[in-house]
Chains A and B, each alone.
Chain A
Amino acid sequence: MLSRVVLSAAAAAAPCLKNAAVLGPGVVQATRVFHTGQPRLAPVPPLPEYGGKVRLGLIPEEFFQFLYPKTGVTGPYVLGTGLSLYFLSKEIYVITPETFSTITVVGLIVYVIKKYGASIGEFLDKLNEEKIAQLEEVKQATIKQIQDAIDMEKAQQALVQKRHYLFDVQRNNIALALEVTYRERLHRAYKEVKNRLDYHISVQNMMRRKEQEHMIDWVEKHVVQSISAQQEKETIAKCISDLKLLAKKAQAQPVM
């Protein structure tokens, strides 16, 4: 993927694609292993970014390197020129109308690949990229999901430690209720006894008051009864004379 940047700059992009078309299997064979039953090399090693280098778009670089020690730089070219002249002159290769169409077609192919090879390569790589990005997303989502599940399990385990609070509350409630009942009973006993005693005392008080009043009434009644008629007359006469005296005194006062 990083090579995408390099791809746009290099002319080797075109040879890469063209070479893959012509010599693909051969090149691939050098680095890939066919899956024959047991995987010899798993995972599959990555495909090479670029195909083998070629010269003139057709002949692999290895050939030139192979001849270099013996014949130097110009060796393969001289060989090529000599061979083609030989074939032409001896009519081993006959020039027919096919020749011209071959030259035209091959030239056209080379031209198109050299010009548009890079962009086509990029476009196809982008399609692939999108698929891989999608898969990557799925992978990340799966990882996150599993992680969340693990975290939740851990949280639940932590909560288990606190379960005892539920029962503590219940036990507290029970203890409180019992204590409250007990105290209420104590208080009730006290109240009842106090009530009884207070009742006795208030009954006594009431009886005494009633007796007092009754006695007073009785004494008054008898006193009134005992005043005979004569005593009554004497008392009234005395009262009148006293009043007259008082009246004289009273008349005397305001004149001052």
Chain B
Amino acid sequence: MAGRKLALKTIDWVSFVEIIPRNQKAIANSLKSWNETLHTRLANLSEKPPAIDWAYYKANVAKAGLVDDFEKKYNALKIPVPEDKYTALVDSEEKEDVKNCAAFVSESQVRIQEYEKQLEKMKNIIPFDQMTIDDLNEIFPETKLDKKKYPYWPHQPIENL
């Protein structure tokens, strides 16, 4: 029963709350509450149980050898450390998540590039009073009148005028 160091990482709960999407808030709350429960339980249990007073028992128990026997067996007893099957799962999940995040970030970068291109295009258009209708249709394609669908003037349903 050697004492082991419990290596806990400090958690920034504010960031933890930030990264959870809305539909998983319940899971996040349960994680948080579990964390707190375990912390309190840990605080209640001391690291080692108190030592047994063998001398007192040896003096008082009549049966010879019983106390010695117990003492020997107790000292030889090794409580197995519970094996950790789950950290591996969490690690593999984290690796996948890192991959997904990297993919998301690269896609996001691509999107940002496109947005910036559009932004540049919008910022650099000529002033409206120097435009022709053709220029306007290039910049805002929705203003283009559909001459095939509405062959007669005003080339749009009357309600839109």
**Which residues of A come within 8 Å of B, CB atoms?**
1, 43-46, 128, 132, 135-136, 138-139, 142-143, 146-147, 149-150, 153-154, 156-157, 159-160, 162-187, 189-191, 193-194, 196-197, 200-201, 204
The 11 listed contacts between A and B (C-beta, < 8 Å) are: A143-B119, A146-B122, A160-B105, A170-B31, A173-B35, A175-B6, A180-B42, A183-B42, A193-B70, A193-B74, A201-B60
Chain A residues with CB below 8 A from B67, complex form? 197
The reply to whether A193 and B52 form a contact with Cβ atoms under 8 Å apart is yes
**How many pairs of residues, A versus B, come closer than 8 Å at their CB atoms?**
167
Bound complex: CA A1 to CA B128 (Å): 12
Which residue of A146, A147, A168, A187 is within 8 Å of B45 (Cβ)? A187
B residues apposed to A, CB below 8 Å: 1, 4, 6-9, 11-12, 15-16, 18-20, 31-32, 34-35, 38-39, 41-42, 45-50, 52, 57, 60-63, 66-67, 70, 74, 77, 79-82, 84, 86-87, 90-91, 93-94, 97-98, 101, 104-105, 108-109, 111-112, 115-116, 118-119, 122-123, 125-126, 128-132, 135-136, 140
B46 proximity list for chain A (CB < 8 A): 183
Q: Closest chain A residue to B136 by CB distance?
A: A135
Which of B48, B57, B108, B131 makes the CB contact (< 8 A) with A201? Answer: B57
Q: Which residue of A lies closest to B119 (CB)?
A: A146
B6 contacts A43, CB within 8 Å?
A: no
Measured CB to CB, the nearest residue on chain B to A201 is B60
Question: Chain A interface secondary structure, helix, strand, loop or mixed?
Answer: helix
Q: Is the CB of A43 within 8 A of B130?
A: yes
Q: Are A176 and B35 in contact (CB under 8 A)?
A: yes
